[in-house]
Every structure is written in C-alpha cells, then in structure tokens.
Amino acid sequence: MDLIIAKLATILHPYSGLISQSTTYLALLQIVTPAMTLNSIRKSKNGSNIPIIPFLFIAIFTVLNLFHSKIRNDEALFNSNLVGFSLAAIYLTVYFLISPASKQMENLISIASGVTFCSLIYFYTQYENPAKLEHRFENILTSVLCSFHFVAFLGTLKALGDKNSGHLPFEMIASGILMNINRVCFGILANNKFVLIQYFIFLLVNLSQLFCILIYPRDAIVKKTTTKKTENKSKSSAKKSKKE
C-alpha cells in the first residue's frame, strides 16, 4: 500500500498547489449547497422527503468546531466557524419552517437532541485535563463525522430498499464528493493513511448515494408523472364522453 501511495503522491505532486487552493473554494461551495437543497425542497413543497439530519449535522459540527477553535486559541478559525454556524442556524431554521406541520414536532425533538449533545460536549471540555483535551476533542470530531457518514450510508440502503432516492439531498452530496476527493488527494500528498482511508470511505458513501439518485426516481418526479398521466386520462375520458 505504501508503494501505491508513493506513486500516487508523485503523480499528484505537480498539482499540490491547486489541490491546496481548491480546498477554500470547495468549503465555500459546501456552505452554499444547503441553500440550494432548501430551495429544491421549497419548490417541490415536499419537505418530508429530505430529513433534517444533514442540516442538523452541519449545525452540530460547526458548534463543535467553535469549541475546538477555542481550545486551540485560534481566533481566525473561531471567526470563520462562527460565520459557518450562523449560516447553519439559518439553514436549520428555514428547514424547520418549510417542513410539513406533521413533521415539525419530530424535527423539534431532533433539534433539542442536538442542543443537548452540544451542551454535554461543552461541559466535558470544562472538566477534561487541558493537556489531553485537544487530542481527545479531535477524536470526538472524527467520531461525529464518521457517525454522520454511517447514517448517510443507512440512507443509501433505504434508497436501495425503497427504490426511491427522494430523501437524498443531491446538491449536498455532490459538494461532498468534490470535498472528499480533495481530502483523499491531501491524504495521499501528506502520506497520512488515516486521513486517506477515512475520506476514501466517505467518498464511497457519497458515490453510493449519487448512484441511487441516478438509477432511482425521486418522489417529486414520480408524483409529477403520475399527475400528468391522471390528467391525460381524465382529458381523454372527457373527450370520449363528449363524443358519445
């Protein structure tokens, strides 16, 4: 495996500057894509399809990164994460407002669970040994990231079982694929097996989601086609009755 990584690093080395620069633009893209997904939900008027989990995860992860930047005493990182959290809170609020009334209590419980989790992590940071805190908190961040992608993989299995990808947020998945490719390239260049394997698995999860979106129709598409068929049938039946 080391030989393969070394060969790949040699191939990617001339593009290391481009890979490094693209990280910033891809991060900005990931900030924008939830707004695109929300717009798709608003247009389809079917918010029950795409769950709250992607939006809730973004909010939770930005809060944890705020804690992490405080632990590191990194003011610039704290300010950037503060902007990220502000946007995540807006996205989460908009999702809650446009979701169907029947789902709002369930979504409220999910948000309350996220707030409780972040509060517990905050209290943990206050009592943990400062010498060990940064390393252990990074492990927490990694665990949360892995947990989210595990839930995303369950979403892929659901799509395969239901033969419907209506609950998968295409825009967020597409930006995730691009970011994970960037992180895999970074892991190869840095010869960091942990980062490489971790983000390669995340990339596979996102690609499996994209595969489901490509082969299975969304609920909105199915509903549009069925309504068109019923409209055509009603029109043809009306014409027949007029002729009679």
**Does 56 map to a domain?**
yes
Q: Is residue 55 part of a domain?
A: yes
Q: Is residue 143 domain-resident?
A: yes
Asked, for residue 244, whether it belongs to a domain, the answer is no
- Report the alpha-carbon distance of residue 211 to residue 160 in Å, rounded: 10
Q: Which letter does DSSP use for residue 45 in this model?
A: T
Give the residue ranges of the chain where pLDDT is below 50: 220-222, 224-226, 229
d(CA 33, CA 56): 14
Q: What per-residue confidence (pLDDT) applies to 48? A: 56
Quote the Cα angle for 6-147-73, to 5°: 75
- Domain-embedded: residue 61: yes
Whole-angstrom distance, CA of residue 136 vs CA of residue 72 = 13
Q: Is residue 137 part of a domain?
A: yes
Determine, yes or no, domain membership for 110: yes
DSSP-derived letter for residue 13 is G
User: Among positive and negative, which fits the CA dihedral 28, 31, 35, 40?
Assistant: positive
Whether 209 is in a domain gets the answer: yes
Q: What is the pTM of this model?
A: 0.80
pLDDT at 234: 57
**Angle, helices 75-98/53-71, rounded to nearest 10 degrees:** 160
CA dihedral 25, 26, 32, 34 (to 10 degrees): -170
Q: Which residues 6+ apart lie within 8 Å of 105 measured at CB?
A: none
Q: Is the separation of the CB atoms in 172 and 37 below 8 Å?
A: yes
Domain carrying residue 124: 2-232
pLDDT tens string 140-183 = 999 999 999 999 999 899 989 988 888 889 899 999 999 999 99
Query: Domain count of the chain?
Result: 1
pLDDT for the residue 27:
85
pLDDT, residue 239, reads: 55
